[in-house]
Structure 1
Amino acid sequence: MPTSKETSKTATFGVKNIGGINSTEISISPGVTVLTGKNATNRTSFLQAIMAVMGSDRASLKADADEGHVKLDLGDETYTRTLTQAGDTVRAEGDPYLDDPEVADLFAFLLETNEARQAVARGDDLREIIMRPVDTDSIKREIRRLEERKDDIDAELSTIESRQRDLTDLEQRRNSLREEIGEKREELAAKEEEIDQSSRDIEEGRKEQEQFEQKLKELQSTRSSLESIRNKIESQEASISSLKQERNQIQNEIDELPEVPAGDRDQIDAEIDQLRSERQALNSEISNLQSLIQYNEQRLEEEDYEIAQTLAEDTEGGPSDTVTDQLLDDDEGIVCWTCGSNVDRKQIEDTVSRLQDLRRDKAQKRSELKSKIDDIKSEKRAIEEKRNRRQQATRRLEKVEAELDERDSKITALKQERKELTETVETLETEVKELESEDFEGILSLHKEANQLEFEIDSLESDLESVTQEIEEIEELVAQEDTLRDQREQVEDELADKRTKIDQIEADSVEEFNEHMDAILEILEYGNLERIWIERVEKSVREGRKKVERTKFELHIVRTTENGAAYEDTIDHLSESEREVTGLIFALAGYLVHDLHRGVPFMLLDSLEAIDSDRIATLTDYFSDYVEYLVVALLPEDAQALDDSFDRVTSI
């Protein structure tokens, strides 16, 4: 949608075969433009042309044309729309100003059949009209997504807090291990010094000394290897235990995610395709109904006097002044353009009204189908998510089982190596014992003690490494805490915004309507009409078997008696002029609440004959403060009351 930067420029429209227009080109400057002329002078057709190039589908082709075209030059940009007759429907193509005209159709293009205007007169649900452009289902889905994200962040923060509580104990454990390792190293150094001293005291001439020391070193080395193998076995066994726990967890996860048969997914896709087909069929029916309604409305406006004259001549065998004059002079009668008979005008208008009701019903059904399609899509996404999670879990399970097999093989090999080293140690101990004498008993004992100290130091250093690694992992988690809390705050802000968005739009709509309604009633001075205002109320409504609370907009009308006493009236008792003004102000409220003044520079007003000329002039001035281009279609006698400075278009 273009922004308001394109406004404050002359808008030039080139129109061909739209409504009753053959061909015309009209330029409109910012401000108020008055289309003035008698009935059947293509004022409404030109308004429909503006709607068409803005993106609306509520425009009709000229009855004798197969194709119509509208071009809008606005600043440096050009927008186009081509309407083509395609069987019983009209197909629209081109590059219109708006991508989605729904909101503009409701609150900017205020022709006689505009829904916002009609909703007030009929006493319809005003809240539904205001909220229709708001995708409430999408907002609710986004709220659910944000809530799930918040829960995930809370779980991560909870884990960090839990690990943080372990951090102090781990740091104390690390310090304790460092101190213990230091003490053991000092003890080992002292023991090695003692061994060196003992070695120097032994008789150098002893022949067996070299062989004894060689065996002793070999024994020491073998014992060290044996201890290392034992530690590796313990490590592998711990890893296997952890992997088995992980395997059980993954298996439980897979069990909780049952496989969804392909047939179920195909059935869901088929259901979505079926619903889309139904919706496309409804779109076609709605488009056909809209074309039929617009055609009849146009013919009603123009009153088709030429066809009436022709039918009268054909019926009587020639011109008949009496019959023709009666057809043309009778305001309540009209010749039906489908069957040629003279029918009551109200009968045709009632038929058009029923067609409009049917179109609204089908539009409501289309909206329900869209919601149902969205729900099924959500169900499909949930199924696909579970399916993906199951596949991921299955892959993880396969990986864990492969690692278990690998570690089982390793531990088998390590146990075999441990067995062999144990046998070697036993053999070496026997050989050393045979070689030792009283002179070597002391040094042998010292070597054993030194070996034990080295084993203990290795074990303590391994523990220190594990504790240090765990501390580093916790510190990495803690480092993420601030980021997670910022994310959580952002998610909470988004949640608050989404949760209040619908309420805010409703509240702003009521405020805008009440504010502008109070202002306009004060200016227009409708006798004893004291106030018209909307109240937001919560009503219990039944949905299926249960009752739910729903917001409703209640329209209140307050009048005063001659002695000044106030009493509440109903919409049925408003004059036609009062109802029209109320409907227009309701549309203006929607225009402002949905920020159309930022992206839809054109507002169109038509069929204001029920309002007297002076009040039309006042309304036009009031609306012009909020719209860049205000285009008003008026009869000449009504246009006279408007400011002479306003641009006027008298020929289309």
Structure 2
Amino acid sequence: MSSQQSVTSSITVAAENIGGIDSTEVTLAPGVNVLTGRNATNRTSFLQTIMAALGSRRSSLKGDADAGRVELSFDDERYTRSLTRRNGEVVFDGDPYLDEPELADLFAFLLESNEARRAVRSGDDLRELIMRPIDTDEIEAEISRLEAEKRDLDGRLEELAQLDSELPDLEADRVALADEIEATEEQIADLEADLEAFDLDVEASRERKDAIESAFADLQEARTELESIEYDLETERESRAELKAERDDLAAELEALDDDPESPDRLEGRVQELRDRKRSLDTTVSELQSVIRFNEERLAEDGFDVDLEVDDEAVGDDDGDVTDQLLADSDDVVCWTCGSRVDRDRIEATLDRLRSLRQRKLDERSDLQERIDELSDRRKELREQRRKRGEIETRLEAVEDELERRADRIEALEGDLADQRARVEELESDTETYENAEYGEVIDTHRELNRLELELEDLEAERDEVDARIAEIEGKIEERSDLKGRRETVEDELTDLRTRVDRIEENAVDAFNDHMDSILSILEYRNIDRIWIERRERTVREGRRKVSRTAFDLHIVRTTEDGRTYEDTVDHLSESEREVTGLVFALAGYLVHDVYEVVPFMLLDSLEAIDSNRIADLVAYFEEYVDCLVVALLREDAEALSESYTYVEEI
């Protein structure tokens, strides 16, 4: 399985003052590289060197050095890392292969201290480790964003459906307006013809006729302007009323928001602090479990086989025989720390205290996780509240500014309206002077013509509005197919996000179970039928509420010599079986999280508990999934491996 940046050239690793290495330069090749030699030959230090160059911070500086450096070169690229001791701490710098090494530390750098291997050995929470690289907060935020977009799309599609139903009525209005306009235009044409028929030259001078026509033209223009001002004023008042209603709604919404002085940034620091404490507790629990298991094994074996020699010069033969008899009859064991005999009850009492301490640490870790979850929820709530408050305040400020502008505009229009009404009244008074018996019919005709012309303007304006609305609706309806397509995309993305965690869990379990079946078949552990993970739901308490959480249960099925099957626990696995199970669990994480697309290397160390033939089979199995596999082995364990591999015997 190749990574996105497969290794195609030789690999050069140069290091100074890393782990136990003074200075070295080693060339590796794509495929399997085997570091062989006796113990204490810097094989693990060399693996830490590769880890440092790839971006890990789990490498150590040589004890007697203040600075060290690593250089990794392959495929015409060069990656560097420096380690410097400052104030008792090691500071990392340089240009490594990875900016964020968490995935590689968990599932690619499989040294003895690797968390995936330790989790299996210690019976820790396997689900938590597999899901640790997944940012569930980010997934939830993306789900919230997509849900909001989906609601907006649904609203727009519903609006378009309503607009579509509005079109028939608008089409009917347009036809009716066209008929009414046509009828009005015919009436206007008839009145204009009547005016032409009047012979004013006989009864009045040309100047008098022009004065009448000019007076009515001015009056018509003034009335048109008056209607325009009234319309603008009404529109501005309606807009102001809507803005006031929006302002009241925003003010009420702002008042409803709690003015919480608590800072989400401070909560973030608290969450990080609690996570650091939890990681520290994880380490403590793991170490306590190792100590307990070691002491239980020693106690079961009655300690070490130590000869208690008796000084012949200080004690006679008879006394020695009596002492031997007393020791033989006692319930003492040989202490594996000092070599003296100690009462078994004292050791068991100490073990009980250690077990109680481990349980307290586990309870403390659960309490910390509960507090972390509570603070994370609170931090998310505060951030959302702060964002919403900012949006409301910004909009409220914009509404206040717009209300002020509307008030100024209304005041100006009210002044214009008063002036225009006075102007119309003045013109109407002027036209009344022409109303006498001699010009009454002409004046009435002018007045009716003026009314019809104003009515025609209103009808044409209304028709233009209907045409514009029809065009607007038709334009929006054309967007419907795009909106439906986007809604389907959002729905698919939501489904993918909502099921992503479940799919990762299911894939991890399936990958482990499949690879575990294959490995057991290849390695042929005699009395193990199956090692598998069961994914199940359990109810846990988070704060004051109970929630459903997924758990990974590791099952071991064995067969007795008489063919009877029974379920065992991980504590009863041999060291070899535990190591193989831990490595397969790490491989499952490596594949589920596509770590091969992040880093093309995998490192294996501390395989001494597995016999050489099984190591060879295991390496061959892992080789299929990694571009460059680097394995540290003792010489006798490396003998069973393929001769086609690259071997490094001196570092």
Shorter-chain TM-score: what band?
Answer: 0.7 to 0.9
Does residue 1:449 correspond to 2:444, yes or no? no
Give me the whole-angstrom Cα distance separating, in 2, the residues matched to 1:632 and 1:217.
Answer: 109
Q: Is the 8 A contact 2:527 2:558 kept in 1?
A: yes
Give me the whole-angstrom Cα distance separating, in 1, the residues matched to 2:4 and 2:265.
Answer: 44
For residue 415 of structure 1, the aligned residue among 404, 411, 418 is 418
Question: 1:240-281 CA deviation, whole Å, 9 max, x = no partner?
Answer: 33223222232123313437999966x527725864895898
Amino acid at match of 1:493: D
Question: 1:171-218 CA deviation, whole Å, 9 max, x = no partner?
Answer: 321221122111211221122223323x25x6x432x25355234313
Give me the whole-angstrom Cα distance separating, in 2, the residues matched to 1:583 and 1:262.
Answer: 49
For residue 408 of structure 2, the aligned residue among 405, 408, 422 is 405
Does residue 1:238 correspond to 2:234, yes or no? yes
- Residue 490 of structure 1 aligns with which residue? 489
Distance 1:504 1:75, change over 3 A: same
- Residue 113 of structure 2 aligns with which residue? 113
Q: Is the 8 A contact 1:15 1:24 kept in 2?
A: yes
Q: Is the 8 A contact 1:219 1:428 kept in 2?
A: yes
Give me the whole-angstrom Cα distance separating, in 1, the residues matched to 2:368 and 2:93.
Answer: 26
Q: Is the 8 A contact 1:82 1:94 kept in 2?
A: yes
Give the C-alpha shift of residue 166 in structure 1: 2.3
- Residue 305 of structure 1 aligns with which residue? none
Does residue 1:573 correspond to 2:576, yes or no? no
Amino acid at match of 1:461: E
Give me the whole-angstrom Cα distance separating, in 2, the residues matched to 1:360 and 1:524.
Answer: 38
- Residue 389 of structure 1 aligns with which residue? 392
- Residue 311 of structure 1 aligns with which residue? none
Structure 1: gaps of 5 or more residues: 294-329, 336-343
Query: For 1:49, what is the secondary structure of its paired residue?
Result: helix
Amino acid at match of 1:252: D
- Residue 515 of structure 1 aligns with which residue? 514
Give me the whole-angstrom Cα distance separating, in 2, the residues matched to 1:154 and 1:42.
Answer: 64
Give me the whole-angstrom Cα distance separating, in 2, the residues matched to 1:62 and 1:109.
Answer: 20
- Residue 616 of structure 1 aligns with which residue? 615
Query: For 1:5, what is the secondary structure of its paired residue?
Result: coil
Q: Which moved more, 1:383-392 or 1:26-35?
A: 383-392
Amino acid at match of 1:638: D
Distance 1:394 1:370, change over 3 A: same
Distance 1:281 1:600, change over 3 A: closer
Structure 1 residues 73-222: aligned runs within 5 Å: 73-197=73-197, 199-200=198-199, 204-206=201-203, 208=204, 210=206, 212-222=208-218
Task: Using structure 2 for the length normalisation, give the TM-score.
Answer: 0.82
Does residue 1:268 correspond to 2:267, yes or no? no
Question: 1:499-550 CA deviation, whole Å, 9 max, x = no partner?
Answer: 1221111111111111111111111111121111112111111111211001
Give the C-alpha shift of residue 474 in structure 1: 2.8
Distance 1:485 1:55, change over 3 A: same
Give the C-alpha shift of residue 363 in structure 1: 13
Give the C-alpha shift of residue 75 in structure 1: 1.9
Distance 1:70 1:285, change over 3 A: farther
Question: 1:78-97 CA deviation, whole Å, 9 max, x = no partner?
Answer: 11111112233211111111
Query: For 1:540, what is the secondary structure of its paired residue?
Result: strand
Give the C-alpha shift of residue 636 in structure 1: 1.8
Q: Is the 8 A contact 1:81 1:94 kept in 2?
A: yes
Give the C-alpha shift of residue 578 in structure 1: 1.3
Question: 1:118-171 CA deviation, whole Å, 9 max, x = no partner?
Answer: 111222111111111111111111111111122122222223333333232223
Distance 1:520 1:29, change over 3 A: same
Amino acid at match of 2:136: T
Q: Is the 8 A contact 1:61 1:68 kept in 2?
A: yes
Distance 1:283 1:531, change over 3 A: closer
Give me the whole-angstrom Cα distance separating, in 2, the residues matched to 1:284 and 1:84.
Answer: 24
Distance 1:332 1:108, change over 3 A: farther
Q: Is the 8 A contact 2:530 2:557 kept in 1?
A: yes
Give me the whole-angstrom Cα distance separating, in 2, the residues matched to 1:276 and 1:554.
Answer: 28
Q: Is the 8 A contact 1:257 1:387 kept in 2?
A: no
Distance 1:57 1:282, change over 3 A: farther
Give me the whole-angstrom Cα distance separating, in 1, the residues matched to 2:416 and 2:92.
Answer: 78
Give the C-alpha shift of residue 361 in structure 1: 8.6
Query: For 1:554, what is the secondary structure of its paired residue?
Result: strand
Q: Is the 8 A contact 1:243 1:404 kept in 2?
A: no
Distance 1:460 1:251, change over 3 A: same
Structure 1 residues 293-304: aligned runs within 5 Å: none
Q: Which moved more, 1:557-566 or 1:534-543?
A: 557-566
Does residue 1:66 correspond to 2:61, yes or no? no
Q: Is the 8 A contact 1:150 1:492 kept in 2?
A: yes
Give me the whole-angstrom Cα distance separating, in 1, the residues matched to 2:613 and 2:519.
Answer: 13
Amino acid at match of 1:95: D
Q: Is the 8 A contact 1:191 1:446 kept in 2?
A: yes
Give me the whole-angstrom Cα distance separating, in 2, the residues matched to 1:278 and 1:257.
Answer: 35
Q: Is the 8 A contact 2:104 2:595 kept in 1?
A: yes
Output the aligned Cα RMSD. Answer: 3.7
Give me the whole-angstrom Cα distance separating, in 1, the residues matched to 2:148 and 2:561.
Answer: 61
Does residue 1:25 correspond to 2:9, yes or no? no
Query: For 2:99, what is the secondary structure of its paired residue?
Result: coil
- Residue 12 of structure 1 aligns with which residue? 12
Q: Is the 8 A contact 2:257 2:385 kept in 1?
A: no
For residue 247 of structure 1, the aligned residue among 224, 243, 247 is 243
Q: Which moved more, 1:473-482 or 1:449-458?
A: 473-482
Give me the whole-angstrom Cα distance separating, in 2, the residues matched to 1:600 and 1:237.
Answer: 69
Give me the whole-angstrom Cα distance separating, in 1, the residues matched to 2:231 and 2:645.
Answer: 91
Give me the whole-angstrom Cα distance separating, in 2, the residues matched to 1:93 and 1:362.
Answer: 32
Distance 1:3 1:623, change over 3 A: closer
Structure 1 residues 248-327: aligned runs within 5 Å: 248-258=244-254, 268=263, 271=266, 275=270, 278=273
Q: Is the 8 A contact 2:370 2:543 kept in 1?
A: no
Distance 1:523 1:543, change over 3 A: same
Q: Which moved more, 1:464-473 or 1:551-560?
A: 464-473
Give the C-alpha shift of residue 369 in structure 1: 6.3
Report percent identity of matched pairs. 42
Give me the whole-angstrom Cα distance separating, in 1, the residues matched to 2:638 and 2:194.
Answer: 120
Give the C-alpha shift of residue 445 in structure 1: 3.5
Q: Is the 8 A contact 2:72 2:79 kept in 1?
A: yes
- Residue 318 of structure 1 aligns with which residue? none
Give me the whole-angstrom Cα distance separating, in 1, the residues matched to 2:577 and 2:606.
Answer: 14
Amino acid at match of 1:539: R
Give me the whole-angstrom Cα distance separating, in 1, the residues matched to 2:89 and 2:460.
Answer: 84
Q: Is the 8 A contact 2:14 2:25 kept in 1?
A: yes
Query: For 2:434, what is the secondary structure of its paired residue?
Result: helix
- Residue 595 of structure 2 aligns with which residue? 596
Task: Using structure 1 for the length normalisation, give the TM-score.
Answer: 0.82
Q: Which moved more, 1:272-281 or 1:53-62?
A: 272-281
Give the C-alpha shift of residue 362 in structure 1: 9.0
- Equivalenced residue count is 590
- Residue 432 of structure 1 aligns with which residue? 434
Query: For 1:432, what is the secondary structure of its paired residue?
Result: coil
Give me the whole-angstrom Cα distance separating, in 1, the residues matched to 2:135 and 2:97.
Answer: 22
Give the C-alpha shift of residue 108 in structure 1: 0.8
Amino acid at match of 2:531: I
Give me the whole-angstrom Cα distance separating, in 1, the residues matched to 2:390 and 2:256.
Answer: 7
Query: For 2:33, what is the secondary structure of its paired residue?
Result: strand
Amino acid at match of 1:62: K
